[in-house]
A = this chain, B = another copy of it.
Amino acid sequence: MSQEHQTKQAIRQSAKRLFAAQGYHAVSMRDIAQAIGKQPGGLYNHFASKQAILVDLMVENLKRAHDFVIAPLDAAATPETQLDRFVRQHVAYHIQNPEDIFIAYMELRSLDSDGAKLVLKERDAYENALRMILHTGAQNGQFTLADPAIHARSILAMLGGVTVWYRESGKQSLQEITESYVQAALQSVGSTYHAQA
């Protein structure tokens, strides 16, 4: 049983690394098998198809992101504090899981219709949490924004760039980058709240 898990986990890890580096369609089952020192046929003892590996990676990623970013938020805190904490955790998760994040952004279109349904359900739950923070903040007057949905997407798109930036930047520390993003996110919704690390 631990043997089974070992191989299955090795497949996950290798597939994740290869999909992130080259893209789903550019990676073959032979590549994945070779990366773990096995024959391609054996992969089908653990996953029904190449597509099933991709779906597994994307769904598991979104569940872990939700547990790490959304679940710990204090519903009783102010919207500014919630947004502050959201950005910090979101950025931290991005930095800690660059390959998962890259795959999540790039390989949505490589999903077939069944897989897309599962993945999008998880993604919507995540986005909706941010929308609610902005919505509440706008209602209470702490935020200045025309539409919570569009600002939520704008913030997520902005934060999505952190992976690329962090990789290419040598000079900035993770803390400096995080503070910049917290500042940019808070200012983008017109908040005068001062970030607290």
Interface of A toward B, CB cutoff 8 Å: 21-23, 25-26, 106, 109-110, 145-147, 149-151, 153-161, 164-165, 169, 172, 176-177, 179-181, 183-184, 187-190
Contacts and interface: CB of A to CB of B under 8 A. Distances in A.
A126 to B, nearest CB: 15
Q: How many of these chains are in the complex?
A: 2
Contacts of A169: 149-150
Contacts of A22: 109
Contact of A147 (B25, B160, B172): B172
13 contacts: A23-B23, A25-B26, A146-B176, A147-B172, A149-B169, A153-B164, A154-B158, A154-B181, A157-B157, A157-B159, A157-B160, A157-B161, A158-B161
Contacts of A110: 23, 26
A102 to B, nearest CB: 10
Given A154-B158, A157-B157, 17 more contacts: A23-B23, A23-B110, A106-B106, A146-B176, A146-B180, A146-B183, A147-B172, A149-B169, A150-B180, A151-B184, A153-B165, A154-B180, A154-B184, A157-B165, A158-B188, A183-B190, A187-B189
